[in-house]
Amino acid sequence: MITRVFSAAVVGIDATEIEIEVNTGPGEPSIIVVGLPDTAVKESKDRVIAALSNSGYRWPRKRTTVNLAPADIKKQGPSFDLPIALGMIATDKEEDLPRLSRCVVAGELALTGEVRPIKGALPLTLEARARGRKAVILPLANVREASVVQGIEVYGVKNLREAYEFLSKASELIAVASDAQLLESKEQSFEIDFSEVKGQHQVKRAIEVAVAGGHNLLLLGPPGSGKSMLAKRIPSIMPPMSLEEAIESTKIHSVCGLLSPSEALVGRRPFRDPHHTISDIGLLGGTSNITPGEVSLAHHGVLFLDELPEFHRSTLEVLRQPLEDGKVTISRASGTMTFPSAFMLVAAMNPCPCGYYGDPKRECRCSPGQVERYRQKISGPLLDRIDLHVEAPAVEYKELSDTIPAESSSSIRSRIVKAREVQNQRFARSRTSKRTTCNTRMSHAQLKEHCRLDDRGNELLKNAMTDLNFSARAYDRILKVARTIADLAGSDSIAPDHLLEALSYRNLDRNVLG
C-alpha cells in the first residue's frame, strides 16, 4: 500500500509543495528515505520510529521506502518528521485517512511524539493555499504565524496522536481564526521618542526627509553628538507597514527562525544594527544552505551601521547591489537564491579615528595620513549610493539643559505619512510604476516623469554638478531627495528652494570626505 502525505520544503523565502510517498514491500525491516534529503531529513527515520513507539503506534515491519517528490529539490530540516510518521501509521494500518488529501502537514517530532515548532510556517501556508489545499496541520507554536493567511484552515497539534486522530476523524480540532486584521488594529508604541533628543534640529530635519522618501543617510560627527541616539529613534517616525509589506518581512524572519510563538506578523518595520565585526556572509546572506542575511532581515526597515569605517571594506562593498536594486542575489555551489532587500541604510561615523577632526573646541590627535586612511575605508561608489550626508555637531550645554520637550515622534511621523500618501497616489497613476513605494525606488523613467525642473532649477543643478563634480548617480539622487522635500512641503513641482536643500545634503562629499 502507498500512502501520500503533502508537505512543503522552504526554498529561499518561499515554499514548494512536497509529496511524501510511503510504500512497504517485501524485504528485511528497514526505512529508506529518498528524494534528495539532507542529513536532518535522513535522521528523521530514527526520530519517527521512537515517536511512533512512544505514542502507541508501530512502524511497518517491512522494507519501507519514503519518497520525497519532486526528487530534484533538496529537502532540508526536520519539518518532514510529522508527515512521514503519519504516512507510516496509515501504511501499517492499511487505511485511508479521510482528511489527508486536503491537508498540508509539517512538524518536527520529539522522541516522545511531541510536535516541535518549525521554520517557514508562513511561506508553507501561502504555498498550501496557492495549491488549493483546504487546511494545514502545524505545530501549535506556529499556528499564530500561519493564521495571517486567509482562505485556508490552520490547525495546531501538540503531538503525533492528536494529528493522527484528527486526520482519521476520531477527534476534532478547532481551526485557528484568521489574524490578518491584526496589523491594522494594532496600535504601535515605542519606548524611545524624538522628544528626548535635545538640539540637532538640522539633523532631525534631514532624518525626516530621509524617512519620507526612503533615502539612505550618513550621520557624521564627534563622539557623543547623538548619532546613534538619533538613528535608533528612526523606527518611531517610519510609516506603518502595509499587510503586504508585513507578510514579506515575516516570511524572511520565519525562515530564519526569528519569530516568537506569540508573534503573528512582523508588525513594526525592522531595525537591524549588526556589529562592525560582521562577515560578508552575515551581512549579505549565504552559507551552504543560502539563508538571508542582515540586508534581507532589514527589508522594509532600517539597516543601521554604526562606526561605518570600522567595518571590513570588503563587507561594505557587498552592499552595492542591494542598495541599487532592492534585492540581493547569492550564488553558492548548492545553487543561486535572490532575496528582497529594500531597506533604508543609516550609517554613522566619526570624521577621523579620534573623532575630533574639524572640532572647534577639541584638538584632533590624528596625523593627516591617519585621517586619509580612515576616510578611504569608505569607497566613493558606496558613498555615492548614500543620498544624504549630514553633520551632527556636538550639542551645546544650553540645549542639553533645556527643559522644554522637543517635537515628538508622532508629530514628525504624521508629516511623513502624508508625504508617503502623496507618493503612493503619484505612483499609482504612473504608467511606469511597478510597485514603487517611495521616491528613492523611482526608476529612471519615473524620475524623468516626476522630477522635472524649471529653467532656474536646471541652471542651479547644472552649476552645482559642474562646481562640485557630482557623478551621474548623485544627480539622480539629488533629484529624488528634492522630490521628497517638495512632497513634505505639499508642492506639486520641485522649486529652487527644494533643490538647494537637497544639494546641501551632499556637501560632505566635498567638505569632509573628499
Q: What is the pLDDT of residues 456-465, one digit of tens each?
A: 999 999 998 8
Phi, psi (rounded to 5 degrees) for 85: -65, -40
Name 212's Cβ contacts closer than 8 Å, sequence gap at least 6: 415, 416, 419, 420, 438, 439, 484, 487, 488
Distance in angstroms (rounded) separating the CA atoms of residues 211 and 12: 29
Q: What is the pLDDT of residues 117-136, one digit of tens each?
A: 999 999 999 999 999 999 99
Distance in angstroms (rounded) separating the CA atoms of residues 262 and 121: 14
CB 116 within 8 A of CB 142: no
For residues 218 and 432, which has the higher predicted lDDT (pLDDT)? 218
Question: What would you measure as the largest C-alpha separation in the chain, in angstroms?
Answer: 88
**pLDDT higher than 90, residue 264:** no
CB 384 within 8 A of CB 474: yes
Q: Which three cell numbers stand for residue 185?
A: 488594529
Q: Which three cell numbers stand for residue 251?
A: 516570511
Peptide bond into 70 cis (omega under 30): yes
**pLDDT higher than 60, residue 433:** no
For residues 512 and 149, which has the higher predicted lDDT (pLDDT)? 149
Query: 441 falls in which pLDDT band (50, 70, 90)?
Result: very high
pLDDT at 213: 96
pLDDT at 513: 43
**pLDDT higher than 70, residue 250:** yes
Taking Cα atoms as reference points, which of 444, 455, 443, 461 lies closest to residue 499? 461
Secondary element (H or E) of residue 429: helix 409-429
Q: What is the pLDDT of residues 91-109, one digit of tens each?
A: 998 888 889 999 999 999 9
pLDDT at 359: 82
Residue type, 322: P
Q: What is the mean pLDDT of residues 168-196?
A: 77
Q: Which of 206-215, 450-459, 460-469 has the lowest mean pLDDT?
A: 460-469
pLDDT at 481: 97
Question: What does pLDDT average to over the chain?
Answer: 90
What length does the chain have? 514
**Which contacts qualify for 36-39: CB closer than 8 Å, 24 or more apart?**
36/68, 36/71, 36/72, 36/73, 36/74, 36/75, 37/68, 37/75, 37/80, 38/74, 38/75, 38/76, 38/77
What is 344-400 written as a DSSP string?
A: EEEEEE-SSSSS-TT-SSS-----HHHHHHHHHTS-HHHHHT-SEEEE-PPPPHHHH
CA distances from 269 to 29, 259, 360 (A): 52, 14, 38
pLDDT at 15: 95
Query: 431 falls in which pLDDT band (50, 70, 90)?
Result: low
Q: What is the pLDDT of residues 73-84, one digit of tens each?
A: 989 899 999 999
Phi, psi (rounded to 5 degrees) for 166: -70, -45
**Residues β-bridged to residue 506:** none
Q: What is the mean pLDDT of residues 445-458?
A: 92
pLDDT at 60: 86
Q: What is the mean pLDDT of residues 60-86?
A: 93
pLDDT at 405: 82
Query: 163 falls in which pLDDT band (50, 70, 90)?
Result: very high
Instruction: Reduce the DSSP state of residue 115 to 3 states and report it.
Output: strand
pLDDT at 429: 78
Highest mean pLDDT among 2-6, 399-403, 503-507: 2-6
User: Which structural domains are found in the chain, ordered by start?
Assistant: 2-167 (3.30.230.10), 206-408 (3.40.50.300), 414-511 (no CATH)
pLDDT at 310: 93
pLDDT at 418: 97
Query: 509 falls in which pLDDT band (50, 70, 90)?
Result: low
Alpha helices in 186-242 (DSSP H): 201-213, 227-232
Q: Which of 34-38, 57-61, 459-463, 509-513 has the lowest mean pLDDT?
A: 509-513
**pLDDT higher than 70, residue 510:** no
Q: What is the pLDDT of residues 317-333, one digit of tens each?
A: 999 999 999 999 988 87
